[in-house]
């Protein structure tokens, strides 16, 4: 004989089914941004970004005016379900980080603010630019040649193949007693400390500090 469910049990199952039916819609609002949403948020932030007509005195001709740093989902307040994105862009003309909040449902910028001394991690583009600046500097290239020769006994003929390069955002507050006046601007300016390795991961004992805002190497830290 088939089992007869009570009214209370049937109501319990109906409530559970209703909750499960609505779960995907609510969970979707908490999902990370999709590639399409990131592209839309970036586009709206770029449209809203006023490009300066003149460059800062500290910004050279090879430095981009704006560098996209990060796009991430904007946290919702309790009970909110809107899809929003936070877009972080570095403005090299003013040395400020732009923070745009984009409403992805309406494709519009709902807020924008600028902050100094807010330095997010370096982009791949900035890492490449820091590396290029070091290799193009005669003094730095001589130091790297000598260090590579000391470690390997070989000449540094092809840096792209013979070196590994890593870098992270540098703040003057991390080494306040070892910095010259130029490096003390790091944090207000966007700077990178560069770590160099041989192809088999032996670290160099010299580490250049690159002021990406000014496009110069400010000093070299020894280990």
Strands (E) located in the chain? 66-73, 84-91, 96-103, 108-115, 163-169, 191-198, 206-211, 216-222
**In a shared domain, residues 110 and 49:** yes
Q: Range of 159's domain?
A: 124-222
**In a shared domain, residues 65 and 137:** no
pLDDT in tens, the chain (223 residues): 444 444 454 334 444 443 333 333 333 567 889 999 999 999 999 876 654 433 444 445 466 789 999 999 998 877 777 899 999 999 999 999 999 999 999 999 999 999 999 999 999 999 999 999 999 999 999 999 999 999 999 999 999 999 999 999 999 999 888 899 999 999 999 999 999 999 999 999 999 999 999 999 999 998 7
Q: Tell me if 95 is assigned to some domain.
A: yes
CATH number at 81 reads: 3.10.450.40
pLDDT of amino acid 58: 46
pLDDT of amino acid 80: 77
pLDDT of amino acid 49: 61
Q: How many CA atoms lie within 13 A of 60 on its CB side?
A: 8
pLDDT of amino acid 9: 47
Q: Tell me if 1 is assigned to some domain.
A: no
Q: Tell me if 159 is assigned to some domain.
A: yes
**In a shared domain, residues 160 and 97:** no
pLDDT of amino acid 223: 79
**In a shared domain, residues 129 and 164:** yes
Q: Tell me if 10 is assigned to some domain.
A: no
**In a shared domain, residues 132 and 110:** no
CB contact at 8 A, 44 and 107: yes
pLDDT of amino acid 79: 72
Q: Tell me if 21 is assigned to some domain.
A: no
pLDDT of amino acid 205: 96
Total tally of structural domains belonging to the chain: 2
DSSP-assigned beta bridge partners for residue 100: 87, 112
pLDDT of amino acid 202: 96
pLDDT of amino acid 185: 96
Q: Indicate the residue among 93, 115, 137 that finishes a domain.
A: 115
Q: Indicate the residue among 115, 143, 173 that finishes a domain.
A: 115
Q: Residue 168 — left, alpha, or beta (φ > 0 → left; ψ -120 to 50 → alpha)?
A: beta
Q: Residue 87 — left, alpha, or beta (φ > 0 → left; ψ -120 to 50 → alpha)?
A: beta
Q: Indicate the residue among 115, 150, 179 that finishes a domain.
A: 115
**In a shared domain, residues 33 and 97:** yes
d(CA 75, CA 82): 10
**In a shared domain, residues 32 and 94:** yes
**In a shared domain, residues 200 and 153:** yes
Q: Residue 95 — left, alpha, or beta (φ > 0 → left; ψ -120 to 50 → alpha)?
A: left
Q: Tell me if 98 is assigned to some domain.
A: yes
**In a shared domain, residues 47 and 92:** yes
**In a shared domain, residues 192 and 144:** yes
Q: Tell me if 47 is assigned to some domain.
A: yes
**In a shared domain, residues 82 and 105:** yes
Q: Tell me if 15 is assigned to some domain.
A: no
pLDDT of amino acid 28: 56
Alpha-carbon distances, residue 66 vs 9, 20, 220 (angstroms): 61, 45, 27
**In a shared domain, residues 106 and 152:** no
Q: Which residue is listed with tokens 């862009």?
A: 89
């Amino acid at each position: 004989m088939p089992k007869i469910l009570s009214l209370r049990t049937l109501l319990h199952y109906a409530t559970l089914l209703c909750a499960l039916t609505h779960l995907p819609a609510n969970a979707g609002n908490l999902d990370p941004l999709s590639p399409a949403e990131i592209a839309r948020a970036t586009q709206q932030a770029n449209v809203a970004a006023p490009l300066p007509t003149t460059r800062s005195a500290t910004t050279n001709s090879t430095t981009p005016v704006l560098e996209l740093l990060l796009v991430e989902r904007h946290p919702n307040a309790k009970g909110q379900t809107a899809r929003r994105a936070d877009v972080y862009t570095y403005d090299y003309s003013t040395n400020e980080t732009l923070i745009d909040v984009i409403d992805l449902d309406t494709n519009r910028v709902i807020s924008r603010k600028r902050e100094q001394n807010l330095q997010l991690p370096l982009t791949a583009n900035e890492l490449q630019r820091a590396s290029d600046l070091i290799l193009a500097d005669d003094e730095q290239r001589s130091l790297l040649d000598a260090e590579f020769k000391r470690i390997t006994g070989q000449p540094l003929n092809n840096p792209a193949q013979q070196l590994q390069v890593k870098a992270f955002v540098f703040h003057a507050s991390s080494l306040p007693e070892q910095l010259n006046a130029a490096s003390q601007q790091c944090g207000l300016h966007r700077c990178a400390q560069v770590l160099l390795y041989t192809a088999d991961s032996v670290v160099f004992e010299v580490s250049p500090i690159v002021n990406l805002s000014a496009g110069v190497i400010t000093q070299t830290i020894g280990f």
